[in-house]
Amino acid sequence: MQSSWKRWNHNVSLTFSSSSSSFSVRFSSSRTSSLELSPRSIAEILAEIKACSRSRDLERGRRLHARLSGGGRGFETNAFVANSLVDMYAKCGSLVDARKVFAGMGLHKTVVSWNALIQGYVENGQAEMALKVFSAMQEQGYSPNPRTFEEVEAFGVKLESLSKGMEIHSQAAGLKGCLEDIFVANTLVDVYSKCGSMSDARRVFDRMECHDVVSWNSLLLGYGENGQGELGLELYVAMRDQGCPPCPRTFVSVLKICASLAGDEYGKPIHREAARCEVELDITLESTLVDAYSKCGSLLDARMVFDRMEAHSTVSWTVMLNGCTENGDEEMALDLFESMELQLQLEPNPVTFVAVLKACAAAAAKEAGKEIDDDKFTKYGLRPGVEHYTCTVDMLARANRLDAAVAAVRGMPYEADTATWTAVMAACCRWKNAAVAEVAFGALRAIDPGDGAAFSLMANLYGSLGMWEEQSRIEELGRSCGAPRRSGRSWWIDDKTGILHRFGAGDVGCGDRAIAAKLAEMRGWMMSGDVGGIAHNIGEEDKRGFVLCSHSERIAMACALVSSPPGTTIRIGKNLRVCGDCHAVSAVASRMERRRIVCRDARRFHVFEGGKCSCGDYW
């Protein structure tokens, strides 16, 4: 007995809504041969195609398409059906099939057809092809709609092309009402953010008539990823003031900003606010919390969050491992890895092994190193990559086995990269070994003739050894090669006011007499100390006044010391690796001021207490 169309469509609808896509296709396949081109049959076919799209079942989709194409019933030229087929093939990853269906539509194409193909290329990571389709669409006389611009802006994000983003923005502005579409505007904010043009992103955001949580999150994430954390925090405050409730993604973004600023003063209140807003702490948000606390130098808080997590992922374990190493507790990191191995449901991935090997390398510098042999990788079906060999080289170099480190580099099954030879050079600076450093320096120049870090390390090493002529030669060579020198920037967040104070090299005193006086006091501490690495041709007074007091991190430290209550912990961030002189000053300051001084540089955390640093004077 044949079911009625009403009953048939009802059953298909129920099947589809219950997400049992495979049953939907089986149920209807026996009927396809007898279907006519009617609204009812089209509705059924669309539901079947959608089911294949959802399940990403390419083979079933192809079988369905073959049945539709047989018998000359015209399904393949119906715009609704053909558009759905293009979308289905794209979602199943078969862009060749999607393009064939699209081409076969001929004059039956609509803007929706073009949008489906553009979206398919974008979702499959082929942004260049999406751009070509977008251009062809306009050349053939089809006018884009807001949905089109939403898609093409998405591939602008993938291309990270500012000029292309601006071109698309200009075209969207020419379509009446397009920029008023919140989805289009949100995507534009995302495009400009990904391309590093935060001024354009903010301009689009400010011109929007209304904002949703996606609007705020896009701009917030953009500020964080483009090193404008202060503006990101200001935006977060504005978001709350305007009554937009944050979502888990909001807290993930703002916590990443706190981590980038080493801002424990911000991180804890935001953690409390997430709890107060009853935001569900999923594993992503909890892992971000662990990372934020770790990067703010609050390892105990990070461990507390980690231990309270109901479930862990490989990512959360890796974040915790990295946090331990960055904060100088390699023993905890190695113990954690052993605990992770006991968790039978979780297996470490290549990134996890990088974290573990970094802990081994750091421990080696303290003569407490452990080795991770190839059997560990084999156990989990992994193959060591160049980053793992780099960690092994670093471990040997830190243990002052520099010849063995160079031999390990040359014996790698990969071409050594900049990070590998830089690890050797950094160790040479620590162990004052100019001969091996020159080998590493030559290798780095062969990889990148304008590597500014290599010139800086080599010049500093020569200076620390009193080899002034060699130091001058390297500095001159760096200038002639156009090797870039990044400007040092440091910052300190006032715990009471929440104000972030930024300093650059040479901002001596910043017009504040108290800071200038503290810098003079710090200079007095170091007058009798070893200030190795200072250029010999600077007069003694200039040497003490300029070199010892002009570096940005010690100006930030002086500001923190005079602006915060005695005995409290101060936290300083720096965008570059801390120099040896500033490291020594920080250690002395922690003893003289009886303070815990936490400094996060580009490589790791330095926790100074009682004149000693958590890095063991190796970084």
Query: Is 45 in contact with 81 (CB distance < 8 Å)?
Result: yes
Give the residue from 245, 246, 253 showing the smallest Cα distance to 222.
253
Superfamily designation of domain 385-485:
Tetratricopeptide repeat domain (1.25.40.10)
Which stretches within 208-312 are classed as H helix?
213-225, 229-241, 248-260, 264-276, 283-295, 299-308
Q: Which amino acid is at 320?
A: M
Task: Give the rounded distance of the alpha carbon of 321 from its chain centre.
Answer: 17
Query: Is 287 in contact with 321 (CB distance < 8 Å)?
Result: no
State residue 369's pLDDT score: 45
Domain with CATH 1.25.40.10 in the chain: 385-485
| pLDDT tens per residue, range 365-418 | 555 445 566 677 788 888 889 999 999 899 899 889 999 999 999 999 999 999
Question: Within 13 Å and on the Cβ side, how many CA atoms surround 258?
Answer: 27
Q: Could you tell me the pLDDT band of residue 602, with boundaries at 50, 70 and 90?
A: confident
Of the listed ranges 111-115, 167-171, 223-227, the one predicted with least confidence: 167-171
State residue 67's pLDDT score: 83
| pLDDT tens per residue, range 430-469 | 899 999 999 999 999 999 988 888 998 999 899 888 899 9
Higher pLDDT, 37 or 433: 433
Q: Which amino acid is at 190?
A: D
Tokens of residue 328, six digits:
């100088």
Give the residue from 220, 219, 151 showing the smallest Cα distance to 183.
151
Neighbours of 93 (CB within 10 A): 14
pLDDT above 50 (res 20): no
Q: Could you tell me the pLDDT band of residue 26, with boundaries at 50, 70 and 90?
A: very low
CA distance 296 to 59: 51
pLDDT above 50 (res 35): no
pLDDT above 70 (res 12): no
| H/E segment holding residue 600 | strand 597-600
Query: Is 327 in contact with 293 (CB distance < 8 Å)?
Result: no
DSSP state for residue 546 in the 8-state scheme: I
Of the listed ranges 272-286, 386-400, 553-567, the one predicted with least confidence: 272-286
pLDDT above 60 (res 548): no
CA distance 553 to 155: 41
Phi, psi angles (nearest 5°) of residue 613: -115, 145
Query: Is 347 in contact with 314 (CB distance < 8 Å)?
Result: yes
Neighbours of 189 (CB within 10 A): 28
Query: Is 245 in contact with 281 (CB distance < 8 Å)?
Result: no
CA distance 616 to 281: 36
Tokens of residue 375, six digits:
């059997």
Q: What is the dihedral of CA 496, 502, 506, 512, to 10 degrees?
A: -30
Give the residue from 74, 72, 103, 70 showing the smallest Cα distance to 86.
103
pLDDT above 50 (res 27): no
State residue 152's pLDDT score: 62
State residue 10's pLDDT score: 42
State residue 75's pLDDT score: 63
Average pLDDT over residues 419-428: 94
CA distance 152 to 134: 7
pLDDT above 70 (res 159): no
Phi, psi angles (nearest 5°) of residue 108: -85, 0
What does 390-458 look like in DSSP terms, one character per residue?
A: HHHHHHHHHTT-HHHHHHHHHT-SS---HHHHHHHHHHHHHHT-HHHHHHHHHHHHHH-TT-HHHHHHH
Please work out, in degrees rounded to the nearest 5, the angle formed at the alpha carbon of residue 492 by the alpha carbons of 487 and 493.
140
State residue 11's pLDDT score: 40
Give the residue from 591, 603, 523 showing the smallest Cα distance to 558.
523
Please work out, in degrees rounded to the nearest 5, the angle formed at the alpha carbon of residue 411 by the alpha carbons of 407 and 414.
130
Most confident of 142-146, 283-287, 589-593: 589-593
Query: Is 369 in contact with 360 (CB distance < 8 Å)?
Result: yes
Q: Are strands 489-493 and 570-574 parallel, antiparallel or unpaired?
A: antiparallel
CA distance 167 to 183: 18
State residue 559's pLDDT score: 92
Higher pLDDT, 367 or 268: 268
Enumerate residues 6+ apart whose C-beta is below 8 A from 561: 518, 570, 589, 593, 595
- pTM > 0.85: no
State residue 21's pLDDT score: 40
User: In whole numbers, what is the pLDDT of the chain averaged over residues?
Assistant: 80
Average pLDDT over residues 277-281: 76
Of the listed ranges 109-123, 132-146, 193-207, 553-567, the one predicted with least confidence: 132-146
Of the listed ranges 66-80, 95-109, 323-337, the one predicted with least confidence: 66-80
State residue 219's pLDDT score: 95
Q: Could you tell me the pLDDT band of residue 590, with boundaries at 50, 70 and 90?
A: very high
Enumerate residues 6+ apart whose C-beta is below 8 A from 297: 262, 264, 327, 571, 598, 600, 605, 607
| pLDDT tens per residue, range 292-329 | 888 887 888 899 999 999 889 999 999 999 999 888 88
| pLDDT tens per residue, range 492-532 | 888 777 778 889 877 764 558 888 899 888 888 877 554 44
What does 495-533 look like in DSSP terms, one character per residue?
A: TTT-PEEEEETT--GGG-HHHHHHHHHHHHHHTTS--TT
CA distances to 42, 52, 83, 91, 165 from 13, in Å: 13, 14, 20, 21, 40
State residue 175's pLDDT score: 52
State residue 533's pLDDT score: 43
Give the residue from 203, 270, 199 showing the smallest Cα distance to 233.
270
